[in-house]
Amino acid sequence: MDSKTLSTSSLVKAATYGTVQTNAGPKYNYNGLLLTDLSAALVSSTFVSPLVAIIDKSVVSNASGRQSLGEGLKAGLKDLFTAPHKFFRQPTFMIMFAVYSGTYAIANWTETICNHYDQPWQFPKFVTSSIANIGLSLLRDKLLAQWFGSSAKARPLPPLSYGCFVARDCLTIAASFNLPPAIAPWLQKQVGWTRDNCEIAAQLITPVGVQFLSTPLHLTGLDLYNRPGIAAAQRIAFLKKETGPTTAIRMVRILPAFSLGGVANKWMRMRGKEYFREN
């Protein structure tokens, strides 16, 4: 039997019996890994969505002038801790849960499927998770801007707002899913930590650091919706005023969203991989 026939036979066997085996690695229950990927995505999203929902609503309300950042955060946290049964039914939380559970699930499945077929996962994972995250995030941004923006009547977002949000999300995805595995080996050489500790540190640092670039894009997209047609000088003045505090709060926001959530997602997938390993 030649190598091509052997490879085809192995793939047929994997598809038939629900297992995955690399050419040189251990064999896993393929369906079990996919189920673990979904479970990790749902649990991680439940873990991060409440705080992110509160922060995003506060940022949008602050940008439109409806409510200051501090007032919005205080009101949101009060609702979460005093009336959680109402908080988790709010549309703001539900759209946030959809964004992160969808993004994590697609990213996880892409990596597992690529490993199943012995293909590199880095670029496919960036593409699929970007499509999922950008699509869901644009829906979220549109709804939040319409719900908490400056206009009493909802209107369509301008194309430039969508452009700002897409650029922001591409930066976030790259910093959350692709940069940590690339930075971890370099960090290990610099500080001498274990590979696992360096991967966790990279997962925590990169999504937070990219907020210096993504926050001005986010604010510009909101301001284009809230104040269409204003002079460039007015828009720049708005960015100078709001970028500092908004960047700080978005760093707090991104920590659970893609850093702590990313660590939880990675940990659950690692435990699931151990559980579904077949001897």
Fold observed for domain 27-276: Mitochondrial carrier fold (1.50.40)
Query: Which one, of 78, 54, 59, 79, lies nearest residue 69 by Cα?
Result: 59
How confident is residue 72, by pLDDT bands cut at 50, 70 and 90?
Answer: very high
Percent pLDDT > 90 in the chain is 62
Q: Please name every residue paired with 278 in a beta bridge, in sequence order, or none if there are none.
A: 27
pLDDT given at position 7: 41
Burial class (CB in 10 A: 0-12, 13-18, 19+), 258: buried
- pLDDT tens figures, 4-38: 443 433 433 343 334 444 445 678 889 999 999 99
Whether the predicted pLDDT of 212 surpasses 60 = yes
Distance of alpha carbon 9 from alpha carbon 117, whole angstroms? 13
Quote the CA–CA distance of 202 and 176 in Å, as a whole number: 9
| Mean pLDDT across 119-132 | 90
pTM of the model: 0.76
Closest CA to 222 of 238, 211, 207: 238
What pLDDT, in 10s, does the model give residues 132-186? 988 999 999 999 999 998 887 888 999 999 999 999 988 988 888 788 888 999 9
Give me the residue spans of the domains in the chain: 27-276
Q: How far from 7 is each of 25, 59, 86, 94, CA to CA, in Å?
A: 14, 53, 54, 44
Which tokens is 178 given?
A: 């692709």
Cα atoms in the 13 Å half-sphere on the side-chain side of 82:
6
The enclosing H or E element of 153 equals none
Cα torsion through 164, 170, 173, 178, rounded to 10: -150
